[in-house]
Each structure stands twice: as C-alpha cells, then as structure tokens.
Amino acid sequence: MNITFIFFIGLVVALIGVIPPGLLNMTAAKISLKEGHVRGIMFSVGVCVVVLIQTYVASVFARYLSMHPEVIDILQRMAFVIFILITIYFLFIAKSKQKQQVTPKTKSKHSRFFQGMLLSSINVFPIPYQAYMTITLASFGWLDFSQISIISYVSGAAMGTFVMLYVYIFFFDKIKGKSFTSQKSMNYIIGAITGIIAIVTLINIIKEL
C-alpha cells in the first residue's frame, strides 16, 4: 500500500471534516484576527496534536471493528440514517445565521497552544467520524490496518486539519465580510458532502446484502 496515497487520503478526509464552521476553526480565525497569525497558528498546532491522538484511537477502534463485521453492518445502517438526516438539515432546514463565539482572553502563545489542545479534546466528533471513514476506506481497499498505514493516515489527518484551520485564519476577513452568502453556500456544501457520503454508505450496504 502506497503510504503517500494513504497520507493524502487522510488529509482529504480531515479537510472535509473541518470545513463546516465550528468552535475550533472559528476560534483559530478570531485569535488570529485579534492577536496575530502566530498565536492563531499556535492554537491550531495544539488542536492538531489532539487530532493525531484522536485519529489514532479511531483507527485502532476501526481495526477492531473490521474483525467484527456484524458490528460494522449495524454501524453502517446507523451512519446511513444519520448522514441522511444531516443532509436534509443542511439543505432544507439550516438557517444562515452566524453564531456568536466567545473567545477567552489569554495572551501567551503557550496558553493558546494548550487552549487548542483543550478545545480539541472536548470536541470528540473526530473519533466516530474517523473510525467510520477508516472502515469505509478499508472496504474499498484504499487503506489497510498495518502500523505504517495507520501512521501515514493519522499524519495526513493532522495535516489536513491544520491546512483547513490555516485557511480559516488567513481568509477569515473574506468569510466575515460575506457572512450571509458564505454561510448559506456552506450549508449547501456540507449537505452535498454528507449526501455523497450517504450514497457511498448505501452502496456498501447494498453490496453486502
């Protein structure tokens, strides 16, 4: 298995997971806007350290699930329903109002680094997300559960997270200036992505029947 290919798969999967405006990327952007790019990047590095750990845990969990296909079948059906509901929400229900974020007033670069680790630890969504995506990628033969493959995938996931946080940091002014339009477009993008994932999940379920 080509470790470079696995690295880029992890990068793309993480990019998709961090695209929606949320606590981590919006906090990174606001720290950068108020205190400078260096502190925003330090916050992002702290986030990525925890993402490394979370993705590794998710990969190990996925390896366990791969040896218990009956559990995977149940999770796939649950994931299909969840992705369908998320797709419906973002395409037809979600409003374009931007939520106001509260940024703690800390000055130290090290404080921002540890703040990134803390907020990323609270955000446990990457674990089930990465576990499901890892199983899906393995079912297509794009990923195996050897140690080198897992390390490559985890490294790519951390890099993908950092890249998207970096994008938020340096383009936050443009996103902020077009809050209504960008938020509405973002809802459609998220809905389209989750819709595609739902279709892929449905194909996997049908193939296994």
- The residue type of 101 is Q
Q: Distance between CA atoms of 193 and 113, rounded to whole angstroms?
A: 30
State the residue for tokens 């703690």.
104
Write out pLDDT tens, residues 9-28: 999 988 888 877 667 887 88
**Backbone dihedral region for residue 36 (phi beyond 0: left; psi -120 to 50: alpha; all else: beta):** left
The reported pLDDT for the residue numbered 21 is 66
Q: What angle do CA 99, 104, 109 make, to 5 degrees?
A: 125
Write out pLDDT tens, residues 110-151: 688 888 898 888 877 788 788 888 888 887 888 888 889 899
Write out pLDDT tens, residues 157-195: 999 999 989 888 887 756 555 544 455 665 676 677 667
Write out pLDDT tens, residues 83-100: 788 778 777 876 544 444
The reported pLDDT for the residue numbered 186 is 59
Q: Supply the pTM of this predicted model.
A: 0.67
Confidence band of 153 (pLDDT split at 50, 70, 90): very high
Write out pLDDT tens, residues 44-56: 999 999 999 999 9
The reported pLDDT for the residue numbered 155 is 93
Q: Distance between CA atoms of 208 and 141, rounded to whole angstroms?
A: 15
Q: Distance between CA atoms of 173 and 121, rounded to whole angstroms?
A: 27
Q: DSSP of the chain, one letter per residue?
A: --HHHHHHHHHHHHHHHH-S--HHHHHHHHHHHHH-HHHHHHHHHHHHHHHHHHHHHHHHHHHHHHT-HHHHHHHHHHHHHHHHHHHHIIIII---PPPPP-------HHHHHHHHHHHHHH--THHHHHHHHHHHHHHTTS---SHHHHHHHHHHHHHHHHHHHHHHHHHHHHHHHTHHHHHHHHHHHHHHHHHHHHHHHHHHHHHH-
Write out pLDDT tens, residues 33-44: 788 888 889 999
The reported pLDDT for the residue numbered 26 is 78
The reported pLDDT for the residue numbered 45 is 93
Where do the domains of the chain lie?
A: 3-208
Q: Distance between CA atoms of 81 and 38, rounded to whole angstroms?
A: 41
State the residue for tokens 């999967």.
13
The reported pLDDT for the residue numbered 140 is 81
Q: Which residues contact 182 (CB under 8 A, 6 or more apart)?
A: 174, 175
